[in-house]
Amino acid sequence: MPRDRHVFRALRLQRDPSLPPTLELDPGACPVMRADGAMKERLERRLEPPPPCGEACPVRAFFAAARAAGADVELDVGAGYGRFGRGRAAAHPELRILGIEQEGARVARSDVLARKAGIRNLAYLVGEARYALEFCVPPDSVAAVHVLFPDPWPKDRHARNRFFRAPNVELVHRLLRSGGLLHAATDDETYFGRMLAVMEADPRFGRVPPPARTDAEKTDFELKFEGRGRPVFAASWRKL
């Protein structure tokens, strides 16, 4: 199914009146998240900034609501099927968690499960994480960024797709508040080595011990890898 169909399905499910209301982010209302074709190229090549979202921007509303409630915001980048976000949101109702995921069908499934569980502090943005981090998330606004089991893109010719690269670390640095945390986990030892090297090259971050995640905060991919007996490598860094 083409990605857009997934997104429309996600939005339909989000509007299902039989489910309890939760935070809503409508990627259709966001000029960055609905960027395609020519717009994507303009963003990638920094030819021009995206059109202003205005007061209707759902991400802006999400951050304003969190600020008004005095709640810390955490991002789940590449949220996948969302098990981690749901587990964390349920265990920490004082937090606001924003999952960013490009696959609308994964978001739709997690959104329904979250609603059925009565979770109200978890929202999703369907789209390209780099655009969300660069153009949508306000600077100095985030307490923690979780990048759990990101695609390792092992081939050199795909290296620019890896999340752990200096330009993306720059984006994370911009949106984390001082003392904010970046958490990473992977089953891929080579990629883990690359993560450590990229982060060590940035003196604005200091490595700290990764927190123990509860069983409920294990991710869908983590459970899959664990089932295959694969070790998990985890690291965390603090914005100094």
Ligand X SMILES: C[S@@+](CC[C@H](N)C(=O)[O-])C[C@H]1O[C@@H](n2cnc3c(N)ncnc32)[C@H](O)[C@@H]1O
- Report the interface residues with ligand X, using CB under 6 A: 78-81, 100-103, 106, 128-130, 148-151, 219-222
Cβ 129 to ligand X shortest distance, Å: 3
Would you give the distance in Å from CA 62 to the centre of its chain?
14
Pair 33, 125: CB distance under 8 Å: yes
For the chain, counts of helices (H) and of strands (E): 9, 7
**For ligand X, which is the closer residue by CB, 42 or 130?**
130
The reply to whether 151 belongs to the active site is: yes
Cβ 66 to ligand X shortest distance, Å: 21
Residue 66 tokens read as 């969190």
Cβ 166 to ligand X shortest distance, Å: 16
Of all residues in this chain, which one has the CB nearest to ligand X in the complex? 80
Catalytically annotated residue among 4, 151, 156, 215: 151
Cβ 131 to ligand X shortest distance, Å: 8
**For ligand X, which is the closer residue by CB, 80 or 87?**
80
Measured between alpha carbons, how far is 117 from 122 in angstroms, rounded to an integer?
11
**For ligand X, which is the closer residue by CB, 74 or 220?**
220
N-to-C CA span, the chain: 44
**For ligand X, which is the closer residue by CB, 18 or 221?**
221
Nearest-10 crossing angle of helices 189-200, 166-175: 60
Please name the helix (run of DSSP H) or strand (run of DSSP E) that holds residue 21, with its range, or none: none
Catalytic residues: 151
